[in-house]
Structure 1
């Protein structure tokens, strides 16, 4: 199958451009985060003198938006440009290879990061969630950097075993679920920090200053729960569909391959989180730690199992 090198080059350029735009958005949002509590005057009045013998007229100038709000609006606008470039890199890679662009770890991580940003833009609307991006963008940037360096693979056809209609179905669902769990894990980590510094005191060290600008603990907890509710059935469906594909490709639904096993463990951990979230006495910090453990299992499955451990999924670096 011929590879369109021009489109592949544009795909890589779009990916690098998206990375740089995300960095710019991150810097703008850090500026918003740092200046969020700076108080500014609400309005200005400008007195316009009337005729010599008349009554002076008074014009009230509309209040200017504070710097924090303007920086936040610019940061989100730039973020939207970044995710469009990100999606363009995925689409161009697909056209360049004439296949669904999920044939290796580079493409999987690219899709998962795009899903995380899209889910964030969809769910975290409004100024109260603006500070979330300061904590969500860094793991996205780290994963994209690893994808572009350690995990990068040139645009090429997939091995014969992956030339199946199950590839776009199974891997797309798993990658989107992974992106959703990234948002959930960050929300739980922020929730734990907020619980440790409930008052968000500016005088209680760097962690207290960080917590001071976060949404309240209840909002973060609800965000983690809502995103897990979305990601859990998606990831579960991905595991089930992977088992059906395994039966078609290898003649068995389940073989305790390392990839399958750790994916199932991660799914069980997230099931435990949802159960703990609804159980009295486990609803707060204990449930959040379980949620973070589930995300750690996902990362372990992505990197350690794919790269270090040999298994049936190792031939393509697929997750």
Structure 2
């Protein structure tokens, strides 16, 4: 099978251009996150003051109840507490929204360049362009960035996610470009099947969405720690990063919803992989290292969703399970593909 070398070279240039566009978009989104902190931090401070007021009122009522005080007396004491002076409204940032829009547009440009790079490689090789580690990881990044853009388009307040989703995307693209790059060419005979379009595509989409879910869980842990310190210390100075994040509840729900969307796709990928294995190797399951670790990831994510639905494991415990699942995915992609030999040795290295 002949390869169009000139088109393959264009694909490589487009790939490099996507990294540049993502990096510029990240820089602009960071500017929005920094310059737009006034409005967000004022809202966070107001919410923290309200939480502290409620906690003081509840503590006062419990103390009075313990000595037999009446409920009306407790209400009076709460009302007599000194009222904090209203802070002047923060000045509206001019550069924040502009930089945010620029960063959002540059991220879309980077996504377009990356999609064009994969399409060009597919045309150059006359096959689906996810037949090795380089192409598969690039496709995962496309799905992760697409997930971020869809979430941000649905609700502009989620645009901050780009500050934390783009760094791992850029890191992955740089690493695969330097360490896992494979020349454009035909795939091995075992991958010349229509199941490549079904099984690998499903795994790619699920992996990209799961990356965003893991980022949301990590941000939840950062914000939850910040909120705990804020409750314990009245004069706590919020950090520049955690202070601008939305509430931990918002981040927890975002992680759970993206997980709930990705988990059925990951399940479908495992099922179609078993069907493909039966047609190619004569058995549905061979306990191959990649199969095994894909199943381990599925079990971890199933535990995450089941624990949230039945045991009420929301918050930190759920976040740790989500990050454990992400760790198993990383191990499966990096270690299993490069160190452990098996039936899925298609890394292209």
Does TM-score exceed 0.5, indicating one fold? yes
Gaps of at least 5 residues in structure 2 are: 40-90
> Post-superposition shift, 1:275?
1.1
1:88 matched to 2:116: yes
1:131 matched to 2:157: no
1:36 matched to 2:31: no
Pick aligned residue for 1:175 from 204, 212, 215: 204
Partner of 1:299: 330
> Post-superposition shift, 1:124?
2.8
Partner of 1:47: none
Contact in 1 for aligned 2:151/2:158 (Cα 8 Å): no
Partner of 1:5: 5
Residues 50-61 of structure 1: pairs in structure 2 closer than 5 A: none
> Post-superposition shift, 1:215?
1.6
Higher RCO (CA < 8 A, seq sep 6+): 2
Whole-Å separation in 2 of the counterparts to 1:87 and 1:199: 42
Q: How many residues align?
A: 292
Residues 1-319 of structure 1: pairs in structure 2 closer than 5 A: 1-38=1-38, 66-125=94-153, 126-198=155-227, 208-314=239-345, 316-317=346-347
TM-score by length of 2: 0.80
> Post-superposition shift, 1:67?
1.3
> Post-superposition shift, 1:208?
2.6
Whole-Å separation in 2 of the counterparts to 1:74 and 1:81: 10
> Post-superposition shift, 1:65?
6.2
Whole-Å separation in 1 of the counterparts to 2:319 and 2:209: 16
Whole-Å separation in 1 of the counterparts to 2:37 and 2:200: 43
- Range moving further from structure 2, 119-128 or 210-219: 119-128
> Post-superposition shift, 1:281?
4.6
Contact in 2 for aligned 1:29/1:75 (Cα 8 Å): yes
| Ranges of 4+ aligned residues in structure 1 off by more than 6 Å | none
TM-score by length of 1: 0.88
> Post-superposition shift, 1:133?
1.0
> Post-superposition shift, 1:223?
1.0
Which protein has the bigger helix share? Answer: 2
The one-character-per-residue Cα deviations of 1:148-188 (angstroms, maximum 9, x if unpaired) are 11110000001111111111111111011100000000000
Higher Cα radius of gyration: 2
Whole-Å separation in 2 of the counterparts to 1:64 and 1:96: 50
> Post-superposition shift, 1:217?
1.2
Gaps of at least 5 residues in structure 1 are: 40-62
> Post-superposition shift, 1:232?
0.4
